[in-house]
Structure 1
Amino acid sequence: MLAASAKLFKEQGFARTSMEDIAAAAELSVATAYNYFKTKGEICVAIYKADRDLVQQATDKVIAAPPKDPVAAICKLIETDFETEVPFVDRGAWEALFLAALQSPAGVTEAWTGAALMRVDQFKRLLKVLQERGSVAADADIESAAELLGALDFSTFFNWIVEWRTGSGATRRFLDAAKKRRLRAQVRQLVAGLRA
C-alpha cells in the first residue's frame, strides 16, 4: 500500500490522490485500505517512518564506528542518510510528500519535524563520539553544531527536490561527486570552528 501510495502521490499529487485510488492501485478493497490507514496523512506518516527507521539503522552503524577524521565522519553520516531510502520513494514522490507535510493536518508535519529532530540527535551523538576521541574540542558547542548540521542536511535534501523540479538535476542520487565535494567543504568549515 505504501509503494502504491508513493507512486500515486508522484503521478497525481497528494491532493488529487484519493483513498479509493490508493486502494485500487494496491489491489485492495476500499474497506481493507481503510483498515490499514484512515487518511492519506497516515499513509504519509507511515512512509516517513519506514524511511526514517532504515536511515536510523544505517546511521547508527556510522556513529558506532565513525572514521577517525571528523570531516570524513560527518560526511559519512550525511552520505549514509541520503543513500539509505525505502526503494519505492523516488524524487517525485519525495516532492509530493514534502508538499503534503506543508499542506496536511498536523500529524504529517509532525512526522517531518520528528525526522529532522532525529537527524539533529544523530549529529549530536556523532559529535560526542568525536569529542570523546579528542577530534573535537572539549568545550565545543555540540548542540549548536548538531543543529547547523541538521540544517545543512535539510538544505541538501531541499536543493535536491528543487533541482528535480526545475530540471537542473538529472541524477536520481542525492549526492553526486560535485555535491559531495561541496558538502565536504562546508563540513570542513564547521569542523575548523569545532577544533578552535
Structure 2
Amino acid sequence: MAGLRAKQKADKNRRILEAATTLFRDQGYDNARIEDIAEFAEVSVGTLYNYYQNKGDILVATVAMEVTEVLEAGAKIVAAPPLNVEEALRALINQYYDHSLFYLSKAMWRTAMAISIQQPETPLSKRYTELDGRLCAQVVELMETLQRKGVVIAAVDARAIGEVFFNNLNMMFIEFCKVDAMPLEDLKMQVSAQHRPIAQLISSVKPA
C-alpha cells in the first residue's frame, strides 16, 4: 500500500512539472498561473501547494529533474569513457547540452539563473547551486577516471582541470541561453574547439 501511495505521489508530481513546463513555454513564466498549472495537471490547487510553495519552486524542481536525468546518462559515459580526452569530454558535454532544452526553454533557463543570482540565500538558489555542483563533480570524475586509465597525464590535477572544463561549459551555456537564435550545434562546436587544446595538453597520448 505504501508503495502504491508513493507511486501515486510521484505520478502527480510528474504531472505538475510537465504541466508547468508546457505553460511556461506557451505563456511565459510570468504569465503562467498556479491555478492554470493545477488545472492542466488535473490536480487541485491545494494539492499543488502540498508539493510546491510557488512557481519558483516548480521551476527549480524542473531543473532538478533535468539534471538528474543527464547525470544518470552521464554516469554511463564516465563508467566506460572513450579512451581519448577530447572524445570523452565531447561525449559527456554533448549529452548535457542535447538534453538541456528537453524540459526548459532558453527563457526558462534565464529565469532559473536569475532566481539563483538575485536570491542567493534562498532554498531555491542553494538548490540550483547544488545541482551545478553535482554536474561539476561528474566532469571531475570523468577526468579522474581517464587518469586512472592512463589517458590523462599522471602529474595533472584531475580535479582542478575537471573544474576548469565544467566552468567553461557552464559559462558557455549561459551565453547560449542569452541568444534565442543561437543553434545548439554552434554551442557544441564552440565548446569543443575551446576544450581541444587543453585536452591535447593533458593527454598522455599526443597526436602524430
TM-score by length of 1: 0.83
Q: CA deviation at 1:5?
A: 1.7
Alignment of 1:8-19 (within 5 A): 8-19=23-34
> Is the Cα contact below 8 Å between 1:116 and 1:150 reproduced in 2?
no
Equivalent position of 1:149 in the other structure: 165
Contact 1:54 1:86 survives alignment (8 Å) = no
Equivalence for 1:51: 66
Q: Does 1:60 align with 2:53?
A: no
Question: What are structure 1's unaligned runs of at least 5 residues?
Answer: none
Deviations 1:24-81 (A, max 9, x none): 3333321121122222232123212211110111100110111111111011110011
1:184 matched to 2:192? The reply is yes
Q: Which runs of 5+ in 2 are unaligned?
A: 1-15
Partner AA of 1:52 in structure 2 = V
Deviation at 1:109, TM superposition (A): 1.2
Alpha-carbon distance, 1:156 to partner: 2.4
Tell me which amino acid in the other structure corresponds to 2:35. E
Q: Out of 31, 34, 45, which is 2:46 matched to?
A: 31
The whole-number CA distance in structure 1 between the counterparts of 2:48 and 2:138 is: 34
Instruction: Check conservation: 2:169, 2:191, Cα contact below 8 A.
Output: no
Q: Which has the higher contact order (CA 8 A, sep 6+)?
A: 1
User: What is the root-mean-square deviation in Å for CA atoms of aligned residues?
Assistant: 2.3
Per-residue CA deviation, residues 97-125 of structure 1 (Å, 9 max, x unaligned), is 33333345612211221121112111111
Assess, with a 3 A threshold, how the Cα gap between structure 1 residues 3 and 100 changes in structure 2: closer, same or farther. Answer: farther
Q: 1:96 deviation in Å?
A: 2.9
1:132 CA drift (Å): 1.2
When Rg is computed on C-alpha atoms for both structures, the one with the higher figure is 2
Distance 2:33 2:117 in 1: 18
Distance across 2 between alignment mates of 1:159 and 1:132:
33
What code does the residue aligned with 2:94 have? E
Percent identity for Structure 1 against Structure 2: 27
The CA deviation at 1:154 is 0.8
TM-score under structure 2 length normalisation: 0.79
**Does the aligned pair in 2 maintain the 1:14–1:100 contact within 8 Å?**
no
CA–CA separation in structure 1 for the residues paired with 2:50 and 2:188: 43
Where does residue 56 of structure 2 map in the other structure? 41
Give 1:72's aligned residue.
Answer: 87
Q: How many residues align?
A: 188
| Cα deviation, residue 13, structure 1 | 4.5
Look up the SS of the partner of 1:68 in the other structure: coil
